[in-house]
Amino acid sequence: MARSVIFIIAIFLAFCALSCIAQQQPCATYKFLNNKHFSSCSDLPVLSSSLHWNYHPLSNRVDVAFRHTGVTDRRWIAWAVNPTSGGMIGSQAIVSFQRTDGSLAVYTSPITSYGTRLEQGNLSFPVSDLSATNQNNEMIIYASLELHGNISTVNHLWQAGRVKATRSSSATLKNLHGILNTVSWGILMPIGAVIARYLKRFESADPLWFYLHVSCQMLAYILGGLSGFGTGIVLGRRSPGMEHSCHKIIGIVLFCLATTQVFGGLVRPDKDSKYRPFFNWFHFLAGLLDTYPKHI
């Protein structure tokens, strides 16, 4: 009886092993849908993955394709080389994941700690022709690496995981970011500028116009400069591989101008000071740039 049970278990395990092997096509017989061809490949021992590559010794360039099969949900995959050691620290990774709209993000990420969040960054060697595909339940990363020195072997790592479901919280934060910046830069800042431009002409409004002007600008700075800028940083960290360069640059410039205005007001020269005209011109020009329409 015991022998029969052992025999049945052995048959079951063999069937499971054969099923797993059959699910992943060997790399040597795999044909890429985009007609790419790689002279060398290796079926990696874990995570249903394989690596394909072409090595060009004269230029030290390597064209690679990292393939991960059995993708049934929103996944991220990463493949990395470590030019200096065999561990995780110092690895130079290429990451791809599926965004909420179904498109693929692909970017480079240097790994500097075990607690890495795979943030986007430049690698220690040039990388070109980055792309990724997700078809027939398999994700593939394509890239060309230009390795330094005469390298014939290299340590490499790979990993895969499920993208965390942060869509609702990110959407809420994105809406909050938009509301804060719209109220501050689009409403309060212009109102403060109008108060300073027109109410100060009336002697009866002095110094009321000044306090109203300062109150509007300070509230706008707190909402847009501090809260809006802070939520923008959080959104950027939650969205690796997604870049809104123009929006980011404009936001940084506005924040710097607003901060200069706030601290400049603390050291404002007296009306009789010879430096007061210079301050007034700087305050006017910076304020003009700060209140100019800039929604991108």
Q: Annotated binding residues for heme b, as ranges?
A: 177, 213, 247, 283
Residues 6+ apart with CB under 8 A from 140: 32, 65, 66, 67, 68, 132, 133, 134
Measured torsion, CA atoms of residues 32, 36, 41, 43, in degrees rounded to the nearest 10: -20
Please give the order of strands across the beta sheet that includes 155-162. Answer: 104-110, 92-98, 75-82, 155-162
Dist CA 3 CA 128 (whole Å): 58
Determine contact, residues 250/296, Cβ cutoff 8 Å. Answer: yes
Dist CA 79 CA 156 (whole Å): 7
DSSP of 201-261, one letter per residue? GSGGGTTHHHHHHHHHHHHHIIIIIIIIHHHHHHHHHHSTT---HHHHHHHHHHHHHHHHH
- Binding-site residues: 177, 213, 247, 283
Residues 6+ apart with CB under 8 A from 70: 23, 24, 48, 137, 138
Dist CA 127 CA 143 (whole Å): 7
